[in-house]
Amino acid sequence: MYANRTDHLKVEGAYAVLAKAQSLEADGREIIHFEIGQPDFDTFDNISLAGMRAIANGKTNYTPPAGTPAFRLAIAMDASARRGVDISLEQVVVSPGGKPNIFFPTMALVNPGDEVIYPNPGFPTYEAMIGVAGGKAVPVPLVEENNFSFDLDVFDKLINEKTKMIIINSPSNPTGGIIPKADLEHIAAAAKKHDCWVLSDEIYARIVYDGMDDAPSIYALPDMAERTIIMDGFSKTYAMTGWRLGYGIMPEELAHRVGLLLTHSLGSTAEFTQYAGIEAITGDQDQVDAVVAEYEKRRNVIVDGLNSLSGITCQKPQGAFYVFPNITELGKSSDEVANWMLEEAGVALLPGTSFGAHGEGYLRLSYANSVENIEKAIEKMGKILK
Ligand SMILES: Cc1ncc(COP(=O)(O)O)c(C=O)c1O
């Protein structure tokens, strides 16, 4: 009855755990939430006000499908400056959230049977979209021993003449790991040798710690601009998840095709939202720095807290707002531990397997939550792990 191209689609793990946590809350249980990957800050006031002003001024119309020229130019200038490259307005495709700029470039590039390499554990949308396009999803493990960068030995064995695209995500959801420049160079050389595209999900590029500048981008490496799509957006950096605002940066011809897919599906991104986006990029950036400093503080608290628990070890990730602790010593599956934590400790978190089979043996916690709640959760987890 249904077309097979949707047979493989699954609910995102975070929403399933959230629903379960909310039903426990409805029964009067206190639950501390670490399952959803969304900032716990409100959108910065200057951005919200710009959006409201735009609505009051009648900026409520269709716009060109790939975005207003003023917004695309602002994005091109900002992205160029941040990555030390030269990006033109014509290369920018604005979308409602970042996700369409995973979906549409994949639809525009991947033919049925083409292979697409992607990180596992990784953001579930990659595998979902490869499948919708009819591509063959080829997972590359992210390994703890390598700070959750790509496993380059496995990668080298998997890439071949059928590989059409390589998806990378740095800093990563769910591990918080960053792919170092040397690894990016390795991936870039392989992409050039096998003539494939790279889709680089850089939505957490500005949420990085320990004094690091933005995470390095594969786009900036020699001869990579012609085969790279950057996916980026406003959801995480500016706490704008519900506004739905993101963009892709890609060669002009591909941008034209992706613009056509947008034309015939979503039409365009809301006009007033694009005004808010201009304010986000061109307004005061100190608020971003302050929020990142707060996340860093929380990261330190949660990593130390998790490492103090018996049977759990946790690396200190350098980006995003996730930790990916190893729970293999507990002798239970990720699913069992996640359920146990929710039901017995009142702590909602995700099994690593929500991000693919290579997430077995791990949990994912989003620390977009207060230090006070983090400390409380560690105490509750400690009580049941004794
Ligand atoms: C790695 C990664 N890419 C893309 C997205 C999608 O972002 P948006 O909400 O802007 O569509 C997310 C959101 O969770 C993410 O974690």
Where does residue 241 rank: exposed (0-12), middle (13-18), buried (19+ CB within 10 A)? middle
Q: Which residues contact 240 (CB under 8 A, 6 or more apart)?
A: 43, 47, 234, 276, 280
What domain range is 67 assigned to? 45-282
Domain shared by 77 and 120, yes or no: yes
Sign of CA dihedral 113, 118, 120, 124: negative
Please check whether residues 150 and 297 belong to one and the same domain: no
- Tell me the pLDDT band of 12, cut-offs 50, 70 and 90: confident
- What angle, 0 to 180 degrees and rounded to 10, lies between the N-to-C axes of helices 271-282 and 45-56? 150
Q: How many domains does the chain have?
A: 2
DSSP H helical segments within the chain, as ranges?
13-26, 45-56, 69-83, 100-109, 124-132, 152-158, 181-193, 252-263, 271-282, 286-307, 334-340, 371-385
Q: Using the 3D structure, point to which of 282, 304, 335 is the last residue of a domain.
A: 282
Separation of CA 203 and ligand 1 centre (Å): 7
Alpha-carbon distance of 67 to 96, in angstroms, equals 10
Asked if 26 and 74 sit in the same domain, the reply is no
Q: What span, in angstroms and rounded, lies between the C-alpha atoms of 89 and 66?
A: 10
371-to-160, 288, 322, 333, 351 alpha-carbon distances in Å:
46, 18, 14, 28, 22
The residue among 381, 342, 340, 385 whose CA lies nearest residue 33 is: 342
Domain shared by 32 and 99, yes or no: no
pLDDT in tens, 19-72: 999 999 999 999 999 999 999 999 999 999 999 999 999 999 999 999 999 999
User: In this structure, are 32 and 51 located in the same domain?
Assistant: no
Residue 45, pLDDT score: 97
Residue 98 alpha carbon to ligand 1 centre in Å: 6
pLDDT above 90: residue 264:
yes
Please tell me the predicted confidence (pLDDT) of residue 204: 97
6-31 average pLDDT score = 92
- Our answer on whether the CB atom of 246 is closer than 6 Å to any ligand 1 atom is yes
Q: Do residues 245 and 354 share a domain?
A: no
Strand, coil or helix: 326: strand
Residue 275 pLDDT exceeds 90: yes
CA 13 to chain centre: 14
Same domain assignment for residues 58 and 83? yes
* 1: its two tokens: 């009855």
pLDDT at 150: 87
Q: State which amino acid sits at residue 168.
A: I
Ligand 1, atom 1: closest residue by C-alpha: 173
Supply the DSSP symbol for 48. H
Q: Report residue 170 as tokens.
A: 């740095």
* 233 in contact with ligand 1, CB cutoff 6 A: yes
CATH number at residue 269: 3.40.640.10
Indicate the pTM of the whole model: 0.97
Query: Pick from 228, 247, 282: which residue ends a domain?
Result: 282
Q: Tell me how far apart the alpha carbons of residues 289 and 208 are, in angstroms, rounded to a whole number.
A: 10
Q: Is the CB of 98 under 6 A from ligand 1?
A: yes
